[in-house]
Amino acid sequence: MKTVKSYTFQIIAVFVISLPLIVLSCKKDEEIVLSKVELAAAEYARLKANGNYIEFSVPDQNPGPPFYARIADMGAERLFMESGNTVIIPMMRQVECIDPDFNLLTMFHVPDAFFCPLVLIGKGLTEPNSPPDVFPVIAYLESNNMPVWFLDKQPLLNAMQDGVLTLSELETLNPKKGVASWYIEYNKPRTVEDHLLVIESEGIIPATGQRFEYTVNSIDKSTQEVELRIW
């Protein structure tokens, strides 16, 4: 089984002190610009080092995100990971456990979602003694066996026109069902001003033998930059 890679331990100590343009120089005349995930890892380390937060593990100390899949349409908050004519839906919890009639576009399903096992592990930072229902300041999640569904954009949009999208409806759209052997994300979910969501993932689509890789960089809570390759 492929070992899940982690950027957390790769952060150079200087990033804990400051976060300028974040460019590392490996040679005198050569520079490497860090990826969005590496920048997010540096931000996690910076926040952890300032001493104002405590770290928790997921799911041992925290049940993780209160939803099943990363897709939503809630007015100002829209999570729609599209690349060309393809939409990507990472499944955060075991698909077999998802209520087939739940409207995935509303995203949050409390407390029901917590009874579906997460397909990820991770950690996060929050204030000491913060209530359990408060989102973390920042969180890191990873998986080496994560369901990721790929759907044609227009049929999916047609299904969403009534404001409802269920797992049963998704199944009728004949999604390509991938399995990510490498999935990591950093997320700062609290505010619009400080919002962050970056994802890197790769894996296979067993039914077709194809491979995939994609990255997501959330510009704000309604806009995402997505790069996807399937071959």
Q: Where would I find the H helices in the chain?
A: 14-17, 36-49, 153-160, 167-172
For residue 32, what pLDDT band results from cuts at 50, 70 and 90? confident
- Lowest-confidence segment of 23-32, 65-74, 172-181 by average pLDDT: 23-32
Q: Is a pLDDT exceeding 50 seen at residue 15?
A: no
Domain limits, the chain: 8-230
219 versus 203: which is more confidently predicted? 203
pTM, entire model: 0.84
Q: Is a pLDDT exceeding 50 seen at residue 6?
A: no
For residue 29, what pLDDT band results from cuts at 50, 70 and 90? low
For residue 16, what pLDDT band results from cuts at 50, 70 and 90? very low
For residue 30, what pLDDT band results from cuts at 50, 70 and 90? low
E-strand ranges in the chain read: 23-27, 30-33, 54-58, 72-74, 77-79, 81-83, 86-90, 121-126, 138-143, 146-152, 176-188, 196-205, 210-220, 223-230
* pLDDT tens by residue, 138-176: 999 999 999 999 999 999 999 999 999 999 999 999 999
For residue 79, what pLDDT band results from cuts at 50, 70 and 90? confident
Q: Position 27: which residue type?
A: K
Q: Is a pLDDT exceeding 50 seen at residue 12?
A: no
pLDDT for 157? 95
pLDDT for 195? 87
Report the mean per-residue pLDDT for the chain. 88
Q: Closest Cα partner for 148 from 205, 101, 65, 102?
A: 205
96 versus 4: which is more confidently predicted? 96
Q: Closest Cα partner for 57 from 110, 2, 136?
A: 136
Q: Is a pLDDT exceeding 50 seen at residue 24?
A: no
pLDDT for 14? 39
* pLDDT tens by residue, 185-203: 999 998 777 889 999 999 9
